[in-house]
Structure 1
Amino acid sequence: MRAGLSLTWKIALLAILTLVMLTVVLLIFAGVQFRISPENFIVAPTLNRVLSVSGELAQDLGETPVESRAELLEQLSKQYDVDFYLVDGNGNSLTRTPAALPKEIVDEIGQRFRNGGPRPAPRRGIFRATTGSPTRYWVSVPIRWRTADTSGLTSGYLVVMSDSFIGNQFFFDPKPWLALTLALTIVFVSVWLPLIRSLTGAITEMTHATSRIAEGQFDTRLEIRRGDEVGQLASSINRMTTTLAGFVKGQKRFLADIAHELCAPIARMQMALGILEQRADDKSIEYVADVKDDVQHMSELIDELLSFSKAGMQIAETDIVRVEVADIVQRVLERESPPGAQIQASVMKGIAVLANPDYLFRAISNLVRNAIRYAGSAGPISVSAHSEGQETVITVADSGPGLPENSLEEVFAPFFRLEPSRGRDTGGAGLGLAIVKACVEACKGSVRAHNRQPSGLEVEIRLRTA
Structure 2
Amino acid sequence: MRFPLALKVSLWLLLNLLLLAILGGCWLLNSGGPEDKLAWSSLVSGPAGRSAQALADVTVSELRATPRSNWDIALQRASEKHTLPLALYGQDFNLLAGNVGELPDSVISRLQAPRRDPPRPGKLQDGPPAPRHLPVPQTELREPHQLFRTGEPAAYWFTFQHGPPGRPREFLVARIPSLWSLIKLLDLDILLWLALAAIVCSILLWLPFVAAHARALRRLDRATEAIADGRFDTRVPENQLDELGALGGSINRMSGRLDRLVTGQKRFLGDIAHELGSPLGRMQMGVGILEARAPAELQPAINDVREEVVQMADLVAELLAFTRAGLRQRDALRVRVELAGLAARVLAREAATDAVTVDIPAGLAVLADADLLARAMGNLVRNAIRYAGRTGPIALRALRQETLIAITVEDTGPGVPPDALDRLGEPFFRPETARLRETGGVGLGLAIVRGCAESCGGTVHFANRIPNGFVATLRLPAAG
Gaps of 5+ in 2: 30-37, 117-134
Match of 2:385 in 1: 372
Match of 1:336 in 2: 350
Which one of the candidate residues 328, 342, 345 is aligned to 2:358? Answer: 345
Deviations 1:382-408 (A, max 9, x none): 112222333222221112233344433
Counterpart CA distance in 2 for 1:197 and 1:227 is 16
Counterpart CA distance in 1 for 2:136 and 2:105 is 20
| Cα 1:15–1:232 shift into 2, 3 Å | same
Letter of the structure 2 residue corresponding to residue 337 of structure 1: A
Deviations 1:122-179 (A, max 9, x none): 983223345569975433112569xxxxxxx996211133565565348988745642
TM-superposed CA distance for 1:253, in Å, is 0.5
- Is 2:6 the partner of 1:8? yes
TM-superposed CA distance for 1:353, in Å, is 1.8
Match of 2:307 in 1: 293
| Cα 1:376–1:360 shift into 2, 3 Å | same
TM-superposed CA distance for 1:103, in Å, is 4.3
* 1:372-411 alignment, distance < 5 Å: 372-376=385-389, 379-411=392-424
Which one of the candidate residues 427, 430, 433 is aligned to 2:446? Answer: 433
TM-superposed CA distance for 1:286, in Å, is 2.0
Letter of the structure 2 residue corresponding to residue 311 of structure 1: A
Q: TM-score, normalised by structure 1?
A: 0.82
Checking the alignment, whether the CA contact within 8 Å between 1:90 and 1:106 is kept in structure 2 is: no
Letter of the structure 1 residue corresponding to residue 329 of structure 2: I
Counterpart CA distance in 2 for 1:259 and 1:16 is 64
Deviations 1:22-56 (A, max 9, x none): 7899999999xxxxx99787554774333222233
Counterpart CA distance in 1 for 2:50 and 2:92 is 25
| Cα 1:352–1:96 shift into 2, 3 Å | closer
Query: Which sits farther off after the overlay, 372-381 or 38-47?
Result: 38-47
TM-superposed CA distance for 1:86, in Å, is 1.0
Which one of the candidate residues 156, 173, 193 is aligned to 2:170? Answer: 156
Counterpart CA distance in 1 for 2:385 and 2:290 is 33
TM-superposed CA distance for 1:212, in Å, is 0.8
* 1:264-279 alignment, distance < 5 Å: 264-279=278-293
Checking the alignment, whether the CA contact within 8 Å between 2:87 and 2:99 is kept in structure 1 is: no
Counterpart CA distance in 2 for 1:134 and 1:424 is 85
Counterpart CA distance in 1 for 2:273 and 2:206 is 58
TM-superposed CA distance for 1:452, in Å, is 2.9
Deviations 1:178-221 (A, max 9, x none): 42441231232133222211211111111111111111112212
Checking the alignment, whether the CA contact within 8 Å between 1:337 and 1:343 is kept in structure 2 is: no
Which one of the candidate residues 442, 448, 463 is aligned to 2:461? Answer: 448
| Cα 1:396–1:422 shift into 2, 3 Å | farther
Match of 2:246 in 1: 232
- Is 2:157 the partner of 1:138? yes
Match of 1:317 in 2: 331
Letter of the structure 1 residue corresponding to residue 197 of structure 2: A
**How many residues are treated as equivalent by the alignment?**
449
Quick one: percent identity of the two aligned structures?
36
Checking the alignment, whether the CA contact within 8 Å between 2:87 and 2:98 is kept in structure 1 is: no
Letter of the structure 2 residue corresponding to residue 296 of structure 1: V
Checking the alignment, whether the CA contact within 8 Å between 1:409 and 1:448 is kept in structure 2 is: no
Match of 2:51 in 1: 49
- Is 2:415 the partner of 1:417? no
TM-superposed CA distance for 1:271, in Å, is 1.6
Checking the alignment, whether the CA contact within 8 Å between 2:156 and 2:175 is kept in structure 1 is: yes
Checking the alignment, whether the CA contact within 8 Å between 2:88 and 2:98 is kept in structure 1 is: no
TM-superposed CA distance for 1:82, in Å, is 5.1
TM-superposed CA distance for 1:311, in Å, is 1.1
* 1:173-322 alignment, distance < 5 Å: 175-176=189-190, 178-322=192-336
Checking the alignment, whether the CA contact within 8 Å between 2:51 and 2:186 is kept in structure 1 is: no
Deviations 1:365-389 (A, max 9, x none): 0011011111135731111222233
Letter of the structure 1 residue corresponding to residue 460 of structure 2: V
| Cα 1:286–1:191 shift into 2, 3 Å | same
Counterpart CA distance in 2 for 1:78 and 1:429 is 96
| Cα 1:79–1:286 shift into 2, 3 Å | farther
Letter of the structure 1 residue corresponding to residue 423 of structure 2: E
Checking the alignment, whether the CA contact within 8 Å between 1:417 and 1:423 is kept in structure 2 is: no
Checking the alignment, whether the CA contact within 8 Å between 1:167 and 1:174 is kept in structure 2 is: no
Q: TM-score, normalised by structure 2?
A: 0.80
Counterpart CA distance in 2 for 1:103 and 1:308 is 93
Match of 1:148 in 2: none
Counterpart CA distance in 1 for 2:221 and 2:198 is 32
Counterpart CA distance in 2 for 1:132 and 1:450 is 68
Which one of the candidate residues 93, 97, 103 is aligned to 1:101? Answer: 103
Counterpart CA distance in 2 for 1:129 and 1:136 is 8
Counterpart CA distance in 2 for 1:181 and 1:98 is 33
Letter of the structure 2 residue corresponding to residue 393 of structure 1: A
**Secondary structure of the equivalent of 1:94?**
strand
Letter of the structure 2 residue corresponding to residue 397 of structure 1: E
TM-superposed CA distance for 1:72, in Å, is 5.1
Checking the alignment, whether the CA contact within 8 Å between 1:336 and 1:369 is kept in structure 2 is: yes
Which one of the candidate residues 142, 145, 157 is aligned to 1:126? Answer: 145
